[in-house]
């Protein structure tokens, strides 16, 4: 693991750990506040992201920015990354070996950011971060806590483009994140009645 952002970013410049390196235009590392309390993790870059080298700048990213505006999140205040840093061909889901090849980069990003809350955008992020046993439909909108980080699984913004009814869920999940950060201080454990 790398101690600084500079070392980590330098380590990925010519990455060829998986076959995605053969078709990428740019490595899409991550963007935003490197000391953010909230981190968003998606699955991988699309065509616009591959072209510009920044995550969530295409149609799904514009929709995410709109949702951020509704709930009062400034994009500059959060950190945004993906499970894989190179675009899978035809925007397919990353394959297991591709996700595995990139996972240490993502882990290192989490270690350096030290977020209190991680929002997992879609099934690919959920399964690669928390485990294959999780499903996005059952986990969406429910807090999961691991190693003093709270995770909020929600729909990937691209899913909102395909099914507009999911926009309400997405915005409500973001509201839960904001409320958690404001009222409880993301990592404080709330005692149950039995404690």
User: pLDDT per residue over 47-83, tens digit each?
Assistant: 999 999 999 999 999 999 999 999 999 999 999 999 9
Domains in the chain with CATH codes: 5-10+19-184 (3.40.470.10)
User: pLDDT per residue over 93-131, tens digit each?
Assistant: 999 999 999 999 999 999 999 999 999 999 999 999 999
Q: Which of 157, 147, 106, 154 is nearest to 128 (CA)?
A: 106
- Residue 126 half-sphere exposure, CB side, CA atoms within 13 Å? 21
Provide the 10 A C-beta neighbour count for residue 137.
8
Longest dimension (CA), the chain: 55
- pLDDT class for 184, splitting at 50, 70, 90? low
């Amino acid at each position: 693991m790398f101690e600084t952002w500079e070392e980590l970013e330098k380590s990925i410049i010519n990455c060829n750990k998986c076959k995605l390196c053969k078709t990428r235009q740019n490595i899409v590392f991550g963007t935003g506040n490197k000391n953010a309390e909230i981190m968003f993790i998606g699955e991988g870059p699309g065509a616009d992201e591959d072209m510009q080298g920044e995550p969530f700048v295409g149609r799904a990213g514009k929709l995410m920015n709109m949702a951020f505006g509704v709930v009062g999140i400034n994009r500059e205040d959060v950190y945004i990354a993906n499970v894989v840093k190179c675009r899978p061909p035809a925007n397919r889901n990353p394959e297991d070996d591709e996700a595995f090849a990139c996972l240490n980069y993502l882990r290192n990003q989490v270690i350096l950011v030290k977020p209190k809350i991680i929002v997992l955008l879609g099934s690919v992020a959920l399964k690669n971060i928390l485990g294959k046993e999780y499903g996005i439909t059952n986990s969406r909108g429910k807090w999961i806590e691991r190693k003093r980080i709270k995770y909020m699984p929600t729909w990937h913004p691209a899913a909102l483009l395909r099914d507009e009814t999911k926009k309400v869920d997405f915005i409500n999940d973001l509201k839960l994140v904001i409320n958690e950060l404001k009222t409880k201080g993301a990592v404080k454990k709330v005692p149950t009645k039995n404690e």
